[in-house]
């Protein structure tokens, strides 16, 4: 039974040419919340190996742009509208590089995940640390009414982080895709329509 539940999306991703089963998580998010439009600029944090970037590439079309950010190596894409930026998301130069070269972003995605230690409390706090960095970048780089999608681990810091996202976006949703492994504690927060604070 585990083979069917846990490996179905992995096999489906390989068949469809996606780089990871995570592609189906983003496809489910898009189907439910309609975060993409043609010609948008999308920032994909923690992009390796590139499954989310592939989905975003199709959704924004050839005149859109996807910026795939990761400190890990990402093999080149055949999709011409994906640009790889090999940087740590905590690199102080990253925000300026994006602003100077691409202007404001329409959608910020973060599927960043810590190296799992096995200590759930520690992993949860590390995940919140990554999520806070993604939220900070969204507040700096997103256009007014831009969208934010970020992976979280359920735990005691989840509510505080959710409240922070509520302060910046007109609507927020918590969503666990069917393609997430059942035993996984991951959940995604979707922030819709950024409110710009002057």
* Cα-trace Rg, the chain: 16
Question: How far out from the chain centre does Cα 92 lie?
Answer: 19
d(CA 123, CA 176): 18
d(CA 67, CA 76): 12
Query: Measured between alpha carbons, how far apart are the two ends of the chain, in Å?
Result: 53
Number of alpha carbons in the 13 Å side-chain half-sphere of residue 67: 24
Report the SS3 class of residue 6: helix
The residue annotated as part of the active site, out of 151, 164, 166, 193, is: 151
d(CA 108, CA 142): 7
Query: Both tokens of residue 148?
Result: 């934010």
In the residue annotation, 59 being an active-site residue is answered as no
Q: Which residues are catalytic?
A: 151
């Amino acid at each position: 039974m585990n083979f069917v539940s846990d490996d179905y999306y992995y096999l489906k991703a390989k068949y469809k040419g996606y780089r990871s089963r995570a592609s189906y998580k983003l496809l489910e998010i898009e189907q439910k919340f309609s975060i993409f439009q043609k010609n948008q600029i999308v920032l994909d944090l923690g992009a390796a190996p590139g499954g989310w970037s592939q989905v975003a590439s199709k959704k924004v079309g050839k005149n859109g742009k996807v910026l795939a950010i990761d400190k890990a190596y990402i093999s080149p894409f055949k999709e011409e509208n994906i640009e790889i930026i090999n940087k740590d998301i905590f690199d102080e130069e990253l925000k300026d590089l994006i602003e100077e070269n691409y202007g404001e972003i329409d959608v910020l995605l973060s599927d960043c995940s810590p190296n799992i230690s096995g200590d759930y409390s520690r992993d949860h706090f590390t995940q919140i640390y990554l999520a806070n960095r993604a939220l900070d970048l969204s507040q700096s780089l997103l256009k007014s009414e831009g969208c934010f999608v970020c992976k979280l681990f359920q735990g005691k810091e989840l509510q505080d982080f959710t409240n922070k996202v509520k302060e910046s976006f007109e609507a927020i949703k918590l969503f666990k895709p069917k393609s997430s492994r059942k035993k996984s504690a991951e959940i995604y927060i979707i922030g819709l329509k950024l409110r710009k604070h002057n």
